[in-house]
Amino acid sequence: MVTTETPNVMVASTGFCVLRSKEALDNNYLFHFTKSKTFINSLVKAAKGASYPAVSNADVYGTYIPLPPVKTQQRIANELGAVYVLLQLRKRQLEELDQLIKSVFYEMFGDPVTNEKGWTVHVLGELITNLRYGTSTPPIFSDAGYCFIRATNIKLGRIISRDMRFIDENEATKLEKCKLHYGDLIIVRSGVNTGDSCVVLEEYAGHYAGYDIIVSPDFTAINPVFINELINTSYMDRIIKPLTRRAAQPHLNAEQVKNLPIITPPLSLQEKFAEIVDQIESQKSLVKQAIDETQRLFDSLMSKYFDD
């Protein structure tokens, strides 16, 4: 929705359908309706074209909208707007906590690429006890059982449960080398997310990695939380990404991973940093819970007012 006035002429692309409400329709109410399942589903059904589905202006104009009195529309729009703003504030809070971890890292250790603080540097292979590839053969998935963590489950240095796949005990016995232990790192080895990493915490210890590289750190030399956060700084774009460039698709191999240069501050300082990360992650968990609750409330209100 356009909310900012400007003396300049505003022109929409031909790829958009511009809606301008009449007096009988509150524009904020209309805005929220266009995000409802009823509206979206009606356009999905009307979409034409196999490779590039599209709808016409007529398809949009022909969509039916619940039309209570304007004052009722305004009340609904204000209610939805208040919850939507709260949801965005909480999402922003989560982003700020992610940035806080990076800020603390740079404050404690400096830039890991330029090594401005002069820490000792080792290649990663000197700081680990084991490095192994995940499976190259897709397992048979189950509705429940052990988590099977794929590249799509690794985002921003964390394991996410969305779209998680599972394997049963029988499949798990075939994938012993892929079994995860506390403190292991998973590094995505191919595809658009090549180089993304995560550290395996208690929640996923005993579960299984998919097709990527599994690294077991030497806890007497390096803290896994420290390595993971290091990888997810500018180090990713400046050191790892250039290694992944291939003609067909990005790719990392075991030797490249073993030869990654890693600054190694005193272990006590790494562990202090890991404790701070743990505290911030606890705060993030509370914010995520609040986001989920707010999202459920927003979805419930949208369904109440707009869905069939």
Give the type of residue at 290.
A
Model pLDDT for residues 256-274, shown as the tens digit of each residue:
999 999 999 999 999 999 9
Q: Cβ contacts of residue 29 below 8 Å, gap of 6+?
A: 73, 74, 76, 77
Whether the pLDDT of residue 103 is over 90: the answer is: yes
Give 188-192's long-range contacts (Cβ < 8 A, gap of 24+). Answer: 188/151, 188/154, 188/212, 188/213, 188/252, 189/133, 189/213, 189/251, 189/252, 189/253, 190/151, 190/249, 190/250, 190/251, 190/252, 191/151, 191/249, 191/250, 192/249, 192/250
Q: Which domains does the chain have, with CATH numbers?
A: 120-264 (3.90.220.20)
- Cα separation, 227 vs 200, in Å, equals 12
Residue 232 C-beta-side C-alpha neighbours within 13 Å: 28
- The share of the chain scoring above pLDDT 70, in percent, equals 94
pLDDT at 1: 56
- Cα separation, 25 vs 31, in Å, equals 10
Total-model pTM: 0.82
**Of the ranges 9-13, 174-178, 206-210, 261-265, which one carries the lowest mean pLDDT score?**
9-13
- Cα separation, 184 vs 234, in Å, equals 22
In the predicted model, what is the mean pLDDT of the chain? 91
